[in-house]
Amino acid sequence: MAAKLVLHSDGLEYLVDETQLDPIRNHARRGETRDWPVHIRRIYPPDEKWVNQSGSAVQLVNEFYILLTDKSEWYFVLALFGKELVINYGGPEIQGYQQWLTYHDNASPLYSGKNANDRRLSRG
């Protein structure tokens, strides 16, 4: 989130001061919430090769996106070597993301919506 907000004036101050993020901060720092579910699935093989703009085959190590649903839920979507991990910034529940997946035919937010045509790499 900080990587996205650093480019905006007062972005990092917003991040630090936003009380809606206190529960996840307290979970990460102090373990105040016992369980905070994470949605995990494989979206491509770990050794998948991608073609960059110069035509070279490369391995994609990681990519991320912050998904805002139509229900004003914020999810951090991270892919590491093709394994997608998703956590809700706002609370210890993942059902809203599962509903989003159902509505979007299980497409990853990394490759759907406004991200569908914004790829720097293509499968090779």
69-110, pLDDT tens digit by residue?
999 888 999 999 999 999 998 888 999 999 999 999 999 999
115/49 Cα distance (integer angstroms): 19
Under a CB-based contact definition with an 8 Å cutoff, are residues 48 and 124 in contact? Answer: no
pLDDT tens per residue, range 8-49 = 667 556 656 667 666 666 666 666 667 889 999 999 999 988
pTM value?
0.76
84/63 Cα distance (integer angstroms): 9
